[in-house]
A and B are shown apart, each in its own frame.
Chain A
Amino acid sequence: NAGVTQTPKFRVLKTGQSMTLLCAQDMNHEYMYWYRQDPGMGLRLIHYSVGEGTTAKGEVPDGYNVSRLKKQNFLLGLESAAPSQTSVYFCASSYTQGRLQETQYFGPGTRLLVL
């Protein structure tokens, strides 16, 4: 099992450009998440999905869109990149059963630089 994979690993964008980050998991997890990590701020949740075809806003959703067309994939889109979106982006997935909060498994991250 590859676990959680993220594509690309690193990207440089110019302000105003768009891009899509891809997250894929092969663990048949229902839940998927997108976080951003900035120095001194820990991880902050951007958007998440509780199942195929569903998405929800997290703590910092502005400037991002997501889609979950297939259970194994969770896409994060930046329509018009801004320097404030320079960050490291992590995808995670978990299998939540009933009322239990299961472990989140993280991908290796995507480092994004917006000039």
Chain B
Amino acid sequence: AQSVTQPDIHITVSEGASLELRCNYSYGATPYLFWYVQSPGQGLQLLLKYFSGDTLVQGIKGFEAEFKRSQSSFNLRKPSVHWSDAAEYFCAVGASNFGNEKLTFGTGTRLTIIP
């Protein structure tokens, strides 16, 4: 069974600073990896996803993530955060075998932006 670990429960970053949110996964085969963002009181919105190919994927709102198979990681990055990036971020892993299209989510990282 797949699993996801987001080791940072809460991160505080100054506006304009760079950001990296960590995600480690466990899955026996090539995983499908996702980052979702949840603004307060809202549902989840997809930021980016990795299925195959280039290990550096670009997403919306200036986010990117890099898949590192050797480290079982899929960390999310942004070079310069904006106050509107304050939200909760979830990493998720999906199985690649047909008939098992469930996603397993991490526990989330809450991002606070300070002026």
Contacts and interface: CB of A to CB of B under 8 A. Distances in A.
Interface of A: 4, 31, 33, 35, 40-45, 48, 50, 58, 90, 92, 94, 96, 98-101, 103-109
Which of A33, A43, A94, A107 has the most chain B CB within a 10 Å cutoff?
A: A43
Given A100-B51, A106-B44, A106-B45, A42 B102 contact: no
A109 B41 CA distance: 8
30 contacts: A40-B9, A40-B107, A42-B90, A42-B107, A42-B108, A43-B44, A43-B90, A43-B105, A45-B102, A50-B101, A90-B44, A94-B101, A98-B98, A99-B96, A99-B97, A99-B98, A100-B32, A100-B51, A101-B51, A101-B94, A101-B95, A101-B103, A103-B49, A104-B46, A105-B46, A106-B36, A106-B43, A108-B43, A109-B42, A109-B43
B43 A31 contact: no
A48 B105 contact: no
Which of A33, A42, A48, A109 has the most chain B CB within a 10 Å cutoff?
A: A42
A103 B46 contact: yes
Contacts of B42: 108-109
Contact of A101 (B32, B90, B107): B32
Interface string B76-115: 0000000000000010001111100111111110000000
Given A40-B107, A42-B90, A43-B90, A101 B101 contact: yes
B44 A42 contact: no
Contacts of A50: 101
A90 B41 CA distance: 12
A90 B36 CA distance: 14
Contacts of B44: 43, 90, 92, 104, 106
A50 B9 CA distance: 32
Contact of A104 (B9, B103, B107, B108): B103
B51 A41 contact: no
Nearest to A35: B105
